[in-house]
Amino acid sequence: MAEKSEHKDSAPKSAGAPKTPKPAAAPSAPRPQGGRPQIAPQTLPLSASGKEIRGIVRLAGRDLKGQWTLPRSIRSIRGIGVNLGQVMARTILQTLKVGPKTMVGELEEPQVRKVEEILSHPEKFGVPAYMLNRQREFQTNETHHLIATDLGFAVKTDIEHEKDSYTWRGYRHAYGQKVRGQHTRSTGRSGMTVGVLRKAVIAKAGADAKSAGAGAQAAAQATDKGKAAGASGAAAPKAEKAAPAAKPAEAKK
């Protein structure tokens, strides 16, 4: 301990040497009221061409993701299948003069309205009539195409028309049965007619009917026995009353 203290005392001290200042701390960012950190503003993603991509695009009554390509977005609309979607996608790309990898979020509002027009009236843009879903409609005898909510309303109207006409299809619709000739013995069951449950219900009903029938038969037999006993008891006093009336006649003889 003495050696260490001597070593410290023997170390030269520079009285005039300036002290190195400590680095100043960086000023902290002002915290908002409540003590929560600020959230960085979200920026819209950019496409390969540098355009901003909208996250959600409203097309034909449905919200679509902006990152989907035009062919993918078209096929997701109700009333447009795979084959018709390919034909419509080709027509839309040629009309808008864009590439097949163009995202629906890149389109401007006029372009979106043009796409909706092509989807609603494809026959005006060269789509073959045999690919449309309303062939020679019975009310107007015209061929056109319906999508989204218009298609759902038309289908309900057709079903109600079948019911009112009381065709076989309407009859099956009215009773909730299968319409297109499917088998119903093993599929399409509902309610109490499901497999083993139905057999158990029938067996229980048969057992209840047998017990009820046996009880009714026993009650009927007891009733018959009571009636027979009552009839025999009532006939005996009448015979006794009739017998004394015959004795005076024998005495006159």
pLDDT in tens, 161-202: 999 999 999 999 998 889 999 988 888 777 655 555 666 777
pLDDT band at 1, cuts 50/70/90? very low
Residue 144 or 45, more confident: 144
d(CA 54, CA 104): 8
Residue 173: per-residue pLDDT? 92
Cβ neighbours for 148, distance < 8 A, ≥ 6 positions apart:
60, 61, 62, 77, 78, 79
Residue 11 pLDDT exceeds 70: no
d(CA 191, CA 197): 10
Q: Which CATH number fits domain 56-131: 3.30.465.10, 2.60.40.1180, 1.10.8.50, 1.10.287.130?
A: 1.10.8.50
E-assigned strand segments in the chain:
56-59, 62-65
Domain boundaries of the chain, sorted by first residue: 56-131, 147-183
d(CA 143, CA 141): 7
Residue 251: per-residue pLDDT? 45
